[in-house]
Structure 1
Amino acid sequence: MTETRQSPLVLGAMMFGTTVDEDTSFALLDRFVERGGAWIDTADCYAFWAAGDGRGGASERVLGRWLAARPGVRERVRIATKLGAEPLEPGSWPARREGLGAAAVRHAFAGSLDRLGIDRVDLLWLHQEDRSVPIEETVDALAGLAADRFGVSNHPAWLVERGRAHALRTGARPFDALQLNATYLRPRPGTLPPGVEHRFGVLSDEQADYAAEHGMDVWAYTPLLSGAYDNPAKEIPPVYDHPGNAARLRALDAVAAETGAARGQVVLAWLLSRGLRPMLGGSKPHQLDAALDGVELELSVEQVERLSAADRFAWASPYAER
């Protein structure tokens, strides 16, 4: 029997257990594994804003029940979760959240393991920066946790470097992954796309260069603009409305026509060509299948270059040469 090739797509479980019911969540997870998916991403705070009690944890609980109901599947998947953004009390976010102090990190991680029903995670993320706590304290707290890798989401590059330097000095495992918002279109300078609540949440050239220089993975969240590339009922957010993106959309349309793929599938393939791992947060099986097909799409070197240079300011990502 031919072994299924592992897909580079990450399945985001943000809304599992809240707006995505358990049966649908299980069906998506089963289909993802069936088609070679491995990485599943969640967080202890998912999805407090959609939960009746204002608390996170629903997503991790659904994943825990799915893992328990599928003996042997744990060996086929990799679990990534995040900590640091759960509100201390319902309605208190963002003013009061668990943060990244040593005690909070240990407490949050223990809760995640309990909800997931596992004794170790494959990747643990710091969800967003916490400048009330020295990053060195957070790194020291991570060193004792049952996680194979550590990553950071929504942090500036200088703070990532400070944390990595401390880990290397003390013999701890340094951060080796970044999770940031990235897509084909570029937001106007000084703006944040919908759903990005952190000023360092959108992948910048500096962050991309830093990650490439240090051999770090980069995960791209909301790469499909919540379906706006292909769903006529959804408009592309106004932060992407500028002449450079008009040129990019023309190039995207042309490559989509050449390949016979949907625009969103071309976006996923382009992100992979730049060394970025796209994340899908869809809620329907057909969305998952379309995304899995998209990451299998092979663009030519000429198509990648044309897409990248469409606005005449090509993103000279160091990933393109690695």
Structure 2
Amino acid sequence: MSGHDFIAGIPLVLGGNVFGWTSKGDEAFAVLDAFYEAGGRMIDTADVYSAWIPGHKGGESETVLGEWLTSRGVRADMRIHTKTGMLGGAELYESARVLQSLEVSLERLQSDTIDLYYAHKDYPELEIGAIVEAFDGAVRSGKVKALGASNFDAARLGAALDHASATGAEPFTALQNEYNLVARKAYGPDLQKLCTEREIAMLPFFGLASGYLTGKYRTEADFAKSMRGGRAKELSGGNGPQVLAAMDEVAAETGASLSAIALAWLVRQPGIPAPIASARTVEQLRELLEFTQLQLSDDQVARLTPSAG
């Protein structure tokens, strides 16, 4: 796949982590239908979603997506992104295991191809060339169109790109790391420089900081309300309150929701064509989609961006 052909539609990648978990059945299909009708064409999932739930073993999200894609007849319109590498250890990046994981994901997704296939995490104990070659095999199988790396640092991603260039292997052309207004270490200046220079599309996850940047978690009582509250509380330290205060100001100026402001800030950052964000309900999705109509000024971006994150 040349260029960033796995980028399509409105600049939002719908996160699939909720499907088969907190969003099921008709509710999940309603979100997916609304996303499609709004011009959404990119969905991100993983074979590990949602293995963290008792009774689940991973693949629940891919299964829901496959059922939706088939029932609606829209597979050709969509860019499906999925990942492997979390349901075990470094052995998952053996060439045969990558192909095996790919086949299982394709079966659940009821698809012949994956538009963007990620190495879900790095295994630093492996030679980078071994990882590159294993995922190159997935492309050579004809069942993967493009490759991405998730949770890689600049040194390892750079080494992977260099190895691919030297050997003719398929390079990673996307990066998926955590990045948002209150957690910016996983996509620092070194990675930003690498991605912009090598034309790597950074598609950040946790764009709303586990809900903290929606503004719904501000007090101890708020943090105790849901499962996500614990993670939101972690992110509330440091410059969290400062960021929320700046977001409140911008919300007053623009009339936009804090969710929209957080996502609009992301697409103003180097190398980021679209953020990843999930929605459990149609109402939540509509709130996310506001960001596609929001243009932040340079002054607003500067005020939103703390000096350290």
TM range (shorter): 0.7 to 0.9
Q: Secondary structure at the match of 1:221?
A: coil
Match of 1:241 in 2: 237
Question: For structure 2, which runs of at least 5 residues remain unmatched after alignment?
Answer: 1-7, 224-228
Alignment of 1:6-155 (within 5 A): 6-52=9-55, 54-71=56-73, 73-87=74-88, 96=89, 99-145=92-138, 146-155=143-152
Mapped partners of 1:180, 1:272: distance in 2: 14
Q: Hey, what's the Cα distance between the residues in 1 that align with 2:254 and 2:169? A: 46
Give me the whole-angstrom Cα distance separating, in 2, the residues matched to 1:261 and 1:116: 35
| Structure 2 match to 1:90 | none
Rounded to whole Å, the distance in 2 between the matches of 1:172 and 1:264 is 39
Contact 1:186 1:240 survives alignment (8 Å): no
Q: For each residue in 1:40-60, what CA deviation from the matched residue of structure 2 results, as whole angstroms up to 9, or x when unmatched?
A: 0011111111151x4111111
Answer whether contact 1:41 1:81 (CA < 8 A) is retained.
Answer: yes
How far 1:220 sits from its partner (Å)?
1.3
Aligned length: 284
Distance change in 2, residues 1:300/1:239 (3 Å)? closer
TM-score (norm 2): 0.85
Shift of the alpha carbon at 1:132? 3.9
Q: TM-score, normalised by structure 1?
A: 0.82
Distance between the aligned counterparts of 2:234 and 2:85, measured in 1? Answer: 30
- Unaligned runs of 5+ residues in structure 1 are 88-95, 190-201, 316-322
- Supply the distance in 2 between the matched residues of 1:135 and 1:109 (Cα, whole angstroms): 20
In the alignment, the residues of structure 2 paired with residue 314 and residue 49 of structure 1 have an alpha-carbon distance, to the nearest angstrom, of: 32
**How far apart, CA to CA, are the structure 2 residues paired with 1:231 and 1:240?**
11
Partner of 1:319: none
Quote the offset at 1:147 in angstroms. Answer: 1.4
Alignment CA distance shift 1:21-1:99 (3 Å): same
Q: Which has the higher contact order (CA 8 A, sep 6+)?
A: 2
1:99, distance to aligned residue in structure 2 (A):
2.7
Q: CA deviation at 1:129?
A: 0.9
Structure 1 residues 82, 118: CA separation in 2 closer, same or farther (over 3 Å shift)?
same
- How far apart are the structure 2 equivalents of 1:76 and 1:296? 23
Show the counterpart of 2:204.
Answer: 220
- The answer on 1:211 being equivalent to 2:185 is no
Note if contact 1:39-1:78 (Cα within 8 Å) is conserved in structure 2.
Answer: yes
Change (3 A) 1:83 1:252: same
Pick aligned residue for 1:288 from 285, 296, 299: 285
Conservation of the 8 A alpha-carbon contact between 1:269 and 1:298:
yes
Give the aligned partner of residue 216 of structure 2. 231
- Secondary structure of the structure 1 residue equivalent to 2:92: coil
Distance 1:239 1:269, change over 3 A: closer
* Cα displacement (A) at 1:166: 1.2
* C-alpha distance in structure 2 between counterparts of 1:133 and 1:103, whole Å: 16
More helix by share: 2
State the SS of the aligned residue for 2:187.
coil
SS at match of 1:237: helix
RMSD (Å), alpha carbons: 2.1
Deviations 1:4-56 (A, max 9, x none): x931111111131133212221111111000010110011111111151x411
CA contact (8 A) 1:86 1:98 kept: no
CA contact (8 A) 1:86 1:97 kept: no
Q: Which of residues 296, 299, 302 in structure 1 aligns to 2:299?
A: 302
Q: Determine the C-alpha separation between the residues in 2 that align with 1:183 and 1:40.
A: 19
Distance 1:184 1:68 in 2: 37
AA of the residue aligned to 1:102? S
**1: CA distance, partners of 2:70 / 2:54:** 23
What is the CA-CA distance between 1:162 and the residue it aligns to? 1.3
Q: Does the CA-based 8 Å contact 2:9-2:39 persist in structure 1?
A: yes
